[in-house]
Chain A
Amino acid sequence: MSDRVARLLPWLLVLPLLAMPLYVDGSWLIIGILGMAGAIGAIGLTVLTGTAGQLSLAHAFFLAVGAYGYAFLAAGSEPGGEASGLGLPSTVAALAAVLLAGLAGLAFSPVAARVKGLYLGVASLALVFIGEHVLRNAAPLTGGFNGRRVPTLSIGGFELTGRNPELVVLGIPFLERERLWYLSVLVLVVSIVVATRIVRGRPGRALRLMRDSAAAAGSMGVEVRRYQASAFVCSSMFAGVAGVLTALAFQYIVPQYFTLLLSVTFLAMVVIGGLGSVGGAVAGGVFVTALPLVLEKFSTSLTFLADPGTGGLDATMLAHLIFGASIVLVLVVEPGGLAALGGRLRTLVRRS
């Protein structure tokens, strides 16, 4: 098989994705939507951690900026509403929320450009904890402890995440989840293309050189600090996109979601997928996001799982054990993660 065909092969996966809403019900679609949101966030983190060699545990914070930013900008300040809003058109609000996440990354860049590698990883913990604190306390903006509702996204009266106006395709009514599914597929494809260009192109080469030797990169004319900061900004914008999608999927966001655990989950995604690989990040993102949800869905038929809160092994806990074990196993056995396995598979296909 020729090289080009082998490279185009993954894109064929998009076709079944497009047909999915015609065949599966809403509960599966929401798992898929959250999985795709996870994949987009993971792409951002793999560019930062894998390509630029900067560890970040602040990813949950930037997701929160995207999610809450959208909710705040798009919500009208209805009387008696729990939290205020600017009432921007929702598409503008979504784009602005992504920019806002980028700006948050930029605001952190004086620190991000000064410390690197491991230091940055532990320093970025600060953002998660400070962010969570702000989310809980800035009640007019965030709804405080109880969170806030997320307005629907619409273009010119057509709700992309709602049910108005009615739309029926091939006898299937397209409701919130079906519409959001297509939006997620579109955004995911765009994210993959953009990230691949960054990683394979000039910026990616500069970042990799910087990761391996900052001094060498500097002497080759790479402005190290500027690149370090822009890698951070770029990664936080991907996180912002993931945040907006997650908010649209949940329709209601609470501070308890955007904690250190979420950051660690994202790190698990990029490690399992293979650090620095965009395709791996997508696979890892979908796997890590979907696993607990799928386990929960089947928890009644999986008899070895206990009900949550009874002290036994419940779905969330089993998922945690699996993530933890996969991080350790991947790094010990196959540091290239799923991406390296995929690469081997491709070589096999090409040889045969």
Chain B
Amino acid sequence: MKIVQLLFLGLSLGSIYALIALGFVVIYKGTKVINLAHGSLMLLGAYVVAVVSEHSNFGLGVAAGLVTAGLGAIVAERVVSLARTHDHLVPTILTIGLDVLLAAELSRRIGTEVFSMGDPWGDARVTLLGTVLPQARIAATIVGIAVIAAFFVVFRMTDFGTRMRASAEDAETAALMGISQRRVAMVSWAMGGAMACIAGIFLAAFPNAGLDHHSGIIALNAIPAIIIGGLDSSEGAVLGGLIVGITQSLVQGYADALHFLGGNAAPVAPYVVMLAVLMVRPSGIFGSKELARV
């Protein structure tokens, strides 16, 4: 049952991507910035997890990683907000600068090393419905679903979620109603950073080799996810993440049959899907359409 195996693997990979994509979307909703430093924040979080869990235990490592990534994201948000401009491209370009800085520093620290996460799952495998799956990926799926569910509960049912949704809808009116835009911005970035850290842990865990200085680039796989789903839609981010994960897993699994695509086509396939979606629905599956037509 190769197809079932691939679908399961794709879903678990997709739930990791969904976490990263959701981070992008939360930050975009909160501040209208596409955080292109997301990959480096993910790498920062996962790096701290690896270092701390080596010296103590995995649980402490995760806690330290989450806090670091969250704080890192808040610092990034503060820096981005320093640019007082009406040009909506500027903050996003600024995050590219932050990404270059953070990536250079992290790759200097990491060098040529490959870190293991010290996670409890190791390389254990589980047999499920006639398929063999890595335990770490099953954990990824469960944690992913739990975090995403918690996110939606916070977003839909708490006071704070209401404040965030109001700000995403109309920042100016929300500010006039007494909602602190600064707090909304900081919290949405912190949430994005923490989710990226969780995703980073699972991306470095088995069956992947571990964390090296290049791992941050994997976060870019969530870019097709947010474009497919719609930049300002949380549901879209989750759906997009799953589509990207399944696409990659299928292309990887059927690489022999898809030989004409060339070697190692899996990382590229989601971008092709993304271009196809853009042709049909320029604002993604769930994205809100822009009203001005010219």
Q: Give the distance to chain A from B106, nearest Cβ to Cβ, in Å.
A: 11
Contacts of A309 in B (CB 8 A): 112
The stretch that binds B, out of A16-24, A183-191, A211-219, A234-242, is: A211-219
| B100 & A224 in contact (Cβ 8 Å cutoff) | no
Bound complex: CA A345 to CA B292 (Å): 41
| B278 & A111 in contact (Cβ 8 Å cutoff) | yes
Residue of A nearest to B292 (CB): A215
Interface string of B264-279 (1 = CB under 8 A from A): 1101100110110011
The stretch that binds A, out of B9-17, B91-99, B127-135, is: B91-99
- Among A300-321, those with CB < 8 Å from B are 309, 311-313, 317, 320-321
| B278 & A115 in contact (Cβ 8 Å cutoff) | yes
Bound complex: CA A49 to CA B96 (Å): 15
Bound complex: CA A136 to CA B102 (Å): 29
| A264 & B112 in contact (Cβ 8 Å cutoff) | no
Q: Give the distance to chain B from A240, nearest Cβ to Cβ, in Å.
A: 21
Q: Which of B85, B94, B294 contacts A215 (CB 8 A)?
A: B294
| B111 & A119 in contact (Cβ 8 Å cutoff) | no
In the complex, whether A125 has a CB less than 8 A from a CB of chain B is: yes
- Among A108-151, those with CB < 8 Å from B are 110-111, 114-115, 117-119, 121-123, 125-126, 129-130, 133-134, 136-138
Contacts A110-B279, A118-B92, A271-B93; A324 near B99 (Cβ below 8 A): yes
- Among B64-94, those with CB < 8 Å from A are 79, 82-83, 85, 87-90, 92-94
| A123 & B278 in contact (Cβ 8 Å cutoff) | yes
In the complex, whether B253 has a CB less than 8 A from a CB of chain A is: no
Q: Give the distance to chain B from A59, nearest Cβ to Cβ, in Å.
A: 13
| B93 & A311 in contact (Cβ 8 Å cutoff) | no
Q: Give the distance to chain B from A24, nearest Cβ to Cβ, in Å.
A: 30
Interface string of A46-86 (1 = CB under 8 A from B): 00010001010000000000000000000000000000000
In the complex, whether B34 has a CB less than 8 A from a CB of chain A is: yes
| Size of the chain B interface, CB-CB below 8 angstroms | 50
Residue of B nearest to A213 (CB): B292
| A49 & B282 in contact (Cβ 8 Å cutoff) | no
Interface string of A316-339 (1 = CB under 8 A from B): 010011011111100110010000
In the complex, whether B263 has a CB less than 8 A from a CB of chain A is: yes
Contacts A133-B265, A311-B112, A331-B83; A264 near B100 (Cβ below 8 A): yes
Bound complex: CA A217 to CA B100 (Å): 36
Q: Give the distance to chain B from A53, nearest Cβ to Cβ, in Å.
A: 7
| A335 & B90 in contact (Cβ 8 Å cutoff) | yes
Residue of B nearest to A210 (CB): B294
In the complex, whether B139 has a CB less than 8 A from a CB of chain A is: no
In the complex, whether A106 has a CB less than 8 A from a CB of chain B is: no
In the complex, whether B177 has a CB less than 8 A from a CB of chain A is: no
| B89 & A327 in contact (Cβ 8 Å cutoff) | no
| B294 & A327 in contact (Cβ 8 Å cutoff) | no
| B94 & A328 in contact (Cβ 8 Å cutoff) | yes
Q: Which of A53, A118, A126, A321 contacts B34 (CB 8 A)?
A: A118
Contacts A264-B100, A332-B79; A123 near B268 (Cβ below 8 A): no
- Most chain A C-beta atoms within 10 Å of own C-beta, residue among B100, B268, B272, B274: B100
In the complex, whether A268 has a CB less than 8 A from a CB of chain B is: yes
Contacts A311-B112, A323-B100, A325-B101; A331 near B90 (Cβ below 8 A): yes
Contacts of A229 in B (CB 8 A): none
Contacts of B200 in A (CB 8 A): none
In the complex, whether A283 has a CB less than 8 A from a CB of chain B is: no
Contacts of A111 in B (CB 8 A): 275, 278-279
| B100 & A214 in contact (Cβ 8 Å cutoff) | no
Q: Give the distance to chain B from A297, nearest Cβ to Cβ, in Å.
A: 20
In the complex, whether B223 has a CB less than 8 A from a CB of chain A is: yes
In the complex, whether A245 has a CB less than 8 A from a CB of chain B is: no
| B262 & A335 in contact (Cβ 8 Å cutoff) | no
Contacts of A136 in B (CB 8 A): 262-264
Q: Give the distance to chain B from A335, nearest Cβ to Cβ, in Å.
A: 6
| B265 & A126 in contact (Cβ 8 Å cutoff) | no
Q: Give the distance to chain B from A330, nearest Cβ to Cβ, in Å.
A: 8
| B282 & A122 in contact (Cβ 8 Å cutoff) | no
Contact surface of B with A, Cβ cutoff 8 Å = 34, 79, 82-83, 85, 87-90, 92-94, 96-105, 107-108, 111-112, 217, 220, 223-224, 226-227, 231, 261-265, 267-268, 271-272, 274-275, 278-279, 282-283, 292, 294
Would you list the 3 A-B pairs with minimal beta carbon distance, nearest first?
Answer: A327-B97, A137-B262, A218-B294
7 extra interface residue pairs, beta carbon distance < 8 Å, beyond A133-B264, A138-B262, A324-B104: A55-B93, A118-B231, A125-B223, A137-B261, A268-B100, A320-B103, A325-B97
Listed by A's residue number, 17 A-B pairs whose Cβ atoms lie within 8 Å are: A121-B89, A123-B275, A123-B278, A129-B268, A130-B272, A133-B265, A133-B267, A214-B292, A219-B294, A264-B100, A275-B87, A321-B100, A324-B98, A324-B104, A325-B97, A332-B79, A335-B90
